[in-house]
Structure 1
Amino acid sequence: MRIAVAGGTGWVGRLVVEALASAGHEPRVLARSAGVDLTTGRGLDAALDGVERVIDASNVTSMSRAKSVAFFEAATGGLLRAEEAAGVGHHVVLSIVGIDRVGYGYYQGKLRQEELVRRGGVPYTVLRTTQFHEFAAQMLARGGPLVVAPRMRCSPVSAREVADELVRLATGDPAGDAPELAGPEVREMSAMIRQLQRARGGRRPVLPLTLPGAAGRAMASGALLPAGEGPRGTQTFDAWVAAG
């Protein structure tokens, strides 16, 4: 099956491409490095020729509500229109657990993305997942004399298990809103960052910080945890850290 991956050179997108190839499918990367610009539509029509399914793992690095909403409106809106014209039969989008409970700028863009998918003309599946194990590494990679760790109760999940689930969903029938995928345990993000730093031999102080406003209080209180039953990943954060 020929399956396009929007954001196929990104963090999760690369794993999706690997999982598709391992399963015997033909992945097609939709990214600027492959000649496709999602925000302008450049190269998109040609890239979708013969594509049966699309997995959207595209992303924007911004905490700004305006920038996030603008990116997803342009990228998702254009992608859906091109898919409909190309006869794509299933659009699978990666989203985030709890974005409707936390008024964070970036999450407003993800909500807009979900809205466009649900209202679009392509049969769809929305998969919300919790934060990946790698989120702690992302926080740790920021420079400075100390590490600022957002107070956040989360259920960290393996990015590779997320990629495998996206592939499983994409090769099945459109499911609308799929059950939320979370990790096997609940952790505090600041403790995860401290643990990872110790394992990597770092010595910078880790400063837990509640983000300002209602969004920060919601994150700290567990609003990004799954609200109900659903599939759970198997790899714990401890196991991910030990795997190096």
Structure 2
Amino acid sequence: MKIAVAGGTGTAGRLVVEVLRSRGHAPVVLSRGQGVDLLSGSGLDAALAGAEAVVDVSNVTTMRRSVAVDFFERAGRQLLGAAERAGVGHVVTLSIVGIDRVKNPYYAGKLRQEEIVRGGPVPWTVLRATQFHEFAEQLLDGLPGPIATVPMGRVQPVAVREVAEALADLVVAAPQGMAPEIAGPRVESLVDMARRRIAAGGVRRRPVLPLYLPGGMNSGGLLPTGSGPRGTQTFSDWLVEQRAAGTHA
């Protein structure tokens, strides 16, 4: 089965491609490196020719609401338009648990992406996932200064590979709209995750100062609200895996 993967070179996308290929499918990466520009639509029609389904794990790194909304608006419309022209029968989009409960500039873009998918011309499935295990380090990387002020929220982190496997399962099944949310096996304190990530090495050592932010994050807004698939790899397991591999998140 020919399956296009938008954002197939990113953290989740690379694993989606790997899982699909291991299952005997023919994944096609939609990225600028492969001559495809999601924002302009350049190369999309040619890349989607003959594709039966699409997994959208495209992403933009920003904390500006206008940039996030613009990216997901333009990329989403270009991708769905090309998918319709190619006769694609199913689009699966990766989203984030809690984006409708926690105020965040980036989440505004993800909400817009979901709106476009739901109102689009191609049968769809949206999978909301909790934060990846890499989230603590990504957060620390974005915090300058001698002290890391980390929000006091709780998360239920999940392994990227387990999300990739769930996406691979969904894309070959019938479209189902909003799929049950996927999360990791254990609820964690984001502050504790940051401290443990620093202690594991490979990131700059500095004190972590808990930061109270009003809003949904402190009240569990990033946690799943219903039943759904749960991963098996804990954050502790992931830290051990990173140290054993000699790599960092």
Give the AA of the match of 1:182: A
Q: Which structure 2 segments of 5+ residues have no match?
A: 243-249
Give the AA of the match of 1:200: G
Q: Which structure 1 segments of 5+ residues have no match?
A: none
Matches within 5 A, 1:125-204: 125-142=125-142, 143-200=144-201, 203-204=205-206
Identity of aligned residues (%): 60
User: Alpha-carbon deviation of 1:174?
Assistant: 0.6
- 1:148 match: secondary structure: strand
Give the AA of the match of 1:210: Y
User: Alpha-carbon deviation of 1:152?
Assistant: 1.8
C-alpha separation between the residues in 1 aligned to 2:93 and 2:55? 6
User: Alpha-carbon deviation of 1:169?
Assistant: 0.2
- 1:59 match: secondary structure: coil
The change in CA–CA distance for 1:80 and 1:163 in structure 2 (over 3 A counts) is same
C-alpha separation between the residues in 2 aligned to 1:203 and 1:10? 27
Matched-pair contact (CA < 8 Å) for 1:139–1:147: no
**Is 1:17 matched up with 2:17?**
yes
User: Alpha-carbon deviation of 1:113?
Assistant: 0.6
Matched-pair contact (CA < 8 Å) for 1:210–1:217: no
C-alpha separation between the residues in 2 aligned to 1:184 and 1:157? 7
How large is the Cα RMSD of the aligned pairs? 1.3
Q: Which residue of 2 aligns with 1:71?
A: 71
Matched-pair contact (CA < 8 Å) for 1:8–1:31: yes
Matched-pair contact (CA < 8 Å) for 1:139–1:148: no
Q: Which residue of 2 aligns with 1:206?
A: 208
Matched-pair contact (CA < 8 Å) for 2:94–2:129: yes
Aligned length: 240
Matched-pair contact (CA < 8 Å) for 2:103–2:215: no
Give the AA of the match of 1:160: R
User: Alpha-carbon deviation of 1:206?
Assistant: 1.2
User: Alpha-carbon deviation of 1:167?
Assistant: 0.5
User: Alpha-carbon deviation of 1:94?
Assistant: 0.1
Q: Which residue of 2 aligns with 1:219?
A: 217
C-alpha separation between the residues in 2 aligned to 1:140 and 1:240? 17
Deviates more, 1:218-227 or 1:81-90: 218-227
User: Alpha-carbon deviation of 1:24?
Assistant: 1.1
User: Alpha-carbon deviation of 1:210?
Assistant: 2.8
